[in-house]
């Protein structure tokens, strides 16, 4: 029997090991480069967006300073006029009725108290205003809003004449019934 020849070890420099090491180094180098590029991108984005935030903060501070310099609006005060107004008027030969509950909105209690002295004159003017309305117009939302604005103008006119100030900011209808 013949002896089999012994396997020969591979020669150095001609095997897979050096090629595998260079591929591994190349992959590591590419991964490090990608991580570095991503890090630089995130850092640059954060840097540039951070500058925009400081400008927004400056604008917010300027806006807050402007608001602080502006006069503070007082809390609204509401005064209900009781009893409710009940007026009648004629429409197309028929008798019609309207009931209106009114609230006055002001910002200063002292001015409101000064106007309360003139409440009989104020109620008279509002009764005359309400009784002179056209039923056909009042049944529409626009007609009701126009009446509210006319009532506000009437009250402000009286307040200006009697107290020297507008006093009343708005006249509000809290209940309006047409029949």
Once rounded to an integer, what is the mean pLDDT over residues 80-107?
92
pLDDT-derived band at 153, boundaries 50, 70, 90: very high
User: Which of these CATH numbers, 3.30.479.30, 3.50.50.60, 3.30.1360.70, 3.30.70.20, describes 77-178?
Assistant: 3.30.479.30
pLDDT (average), residues 114-127:
95
The answer to whether 171 and 102 have CB atoms below 8 angstroms apart is yes
Question: Helix 109-116 and helix 119-131: axis angle, to 10°?
Answer: 80
pLDDT at 50: 74
Domain ranges of the chain: 20-72, 77-178
pLDDT of residue 172: 97
Tell me: pLDDT of 69 over 70. Answer: no
**Would you say residue 12 has pLDDT above 60?**
no
Global pTM value: 0.60
Q: How confident is the model at residue 92 (pLDDT cuts 50, 70, 90)?
A: confident
More confident residue, 132 or 57: 132
């Amino acid at each position: 029997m013949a002896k089999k020849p012994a396997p020969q070890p591979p020669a150095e420099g001609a095997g897979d090991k050096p090629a595998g090491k260079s591929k591994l180094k190349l992959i590591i180098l590419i991964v490090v480069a990608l991580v570095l590029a991503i890090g630089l991108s995130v850092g640059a984005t954060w840097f540039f967006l951070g500058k925009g935030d400081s400008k927004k903060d400056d604008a917010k501070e300027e806006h807050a300073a402007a608001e602080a310099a502006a006069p503070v609006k007082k809390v609204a005060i509401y005064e209900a006029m009781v009893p409710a107004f009940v007026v009648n008027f004629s429409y197309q030969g028929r008798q019609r009725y309207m009931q209106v509950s009114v609230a006055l909105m002001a910002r200063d209690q002292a001015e409101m108290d000064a106007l309360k002295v003139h409440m009989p004159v104020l109620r008279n003017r509002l009764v005359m205003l309400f009784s002179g309305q056209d039923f056909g117009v009042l049944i529409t939302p626009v007609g009701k809003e126009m009446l509210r604005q006319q009532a506000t103008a009437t009250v402000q006119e009286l307040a200006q004449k009697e107290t020297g100030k507008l006093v009343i900011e708005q006249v509000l209808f809290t209940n309006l019934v047409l029949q």
